[in-house]
């Protein structure tokens, strides 16, 4: 029967499109189709997709994500504290920015009610951490258990926009 066909889901991220495009060659009308490089790597493709249209949609999603991230106030945590770190969900766009962890790493973190990106010295993906992680300590709804906070808490409008974003995007366990 052979390996499963490569599918590009509706929620594909720019990373997925770029990775997939590396195995595809330009077809007609801005569409990409399977290349011989894909078949030599054991990848079977049975679908083409409009790369430009998908890239525009993903650029908008990434732009929105970046804009929301910039509007969340920052503050300094207590060194060595990871009380807010645990199993969280993130959008597919956010997950595409994080390094891939093995199933064993995910299982071990979940067994300890931790995050697979939490290392010996703290968050290993701090610069790319999901929105929910950024919200901890910046709003009374997700207060820091140790009383740390930014000088100015997040404004209500931004917090509501983030919650709407989280509600309308497909969330997966980090």
Taking only the tens of pLDDT, the chain with its 174 residues reads 544 443 433 333 333 333 333 333 333 333 333 333 333 334 333 333 343 444 344 445 678 999 999 999 999 888 888 888 999 999 999 999 999 999 999 999 999 999 999 998 899 999 999 999 999 999 999 999 999 999 999 999 999 999 999 999 999 999
Looking at the DSSP bridge assignments, the partners of residue 31 are 50
Residue 172 is predicted with a pLDDT of 93
- Helical packing angle, 51-70 and 156-168, nearest 10°: 150
pTM of the model: 0.64
Q: Cα 29 vs. chain centroid, distance in angstroms? A: 30
Is the separation of the CB atoms in 72 and 159 below 8 Å? no
Return the H-helix or E-strand segment holding 160: helix 156-168
pLDDT value of position 62: 75
Rounded CA-CA distance 35/21 in Å is 9
User: Could you tell me whether strands 89-91 and 171-173 are parallel, antiparallel, or unpaired per DSSP bridges?
Assistant: antiparallel
The pLDDT, as a whole number, for residue 80 is 86
Query: What pLDDT, on the 0 to 100 scale, is given for residue 45?
Result: 36
Distance separating alpha carbons of residues 75 and 86, to the nearest angstrom: 19
pLDDT value at residue 79: 86
Name the 3-class secondary structure at 2: coil
Q: 144 Cβ partners below 8 Å, 6+ apart?
A: 77, 83, 84, 136, 137
Q: Classify the phi-psi angles of 17: left when phi > 0, otherwise alpha if psi is within -120 to 50, otherwise beta.
A: alpha
């Amino acid at each position: 029967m052979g390996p499963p066909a490569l599918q590009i889901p509706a929620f594909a991220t720019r990373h997925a499109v770029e990775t997939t495009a590396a195995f595809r060659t330009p077809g007609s009308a801005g569409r990409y189709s399977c290349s011989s490089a894909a078949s030599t790597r054991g990848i079977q493709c049975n679908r083409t997709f409009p790369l430009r249209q998908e890239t525009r949609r993903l650029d908008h999603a990434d732009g929105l994500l970046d804009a929301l991230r910039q509007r969340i106030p920052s503050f300094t945590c207590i060194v060595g504290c990871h009380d807010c770190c645990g199993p969280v969900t993130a959008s597919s766009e956010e997950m595409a920015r994080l390094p891939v962890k093995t199933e064993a790493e995910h299982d071990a973190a979940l067994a300890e009610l931790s995050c697979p990106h939490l290392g010996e010295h703290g968050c290993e993906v701090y610069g790319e951490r999901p929105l929910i992680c950024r919200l901890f300590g910046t709003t009374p709804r997700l207060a820091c258990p140790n009383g740390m906070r930014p000088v100015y808490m997040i404004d209500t409008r931004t917090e509501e926009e983030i919650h709407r974003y989280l509600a309308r995007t497909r969330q997966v366990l980090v």
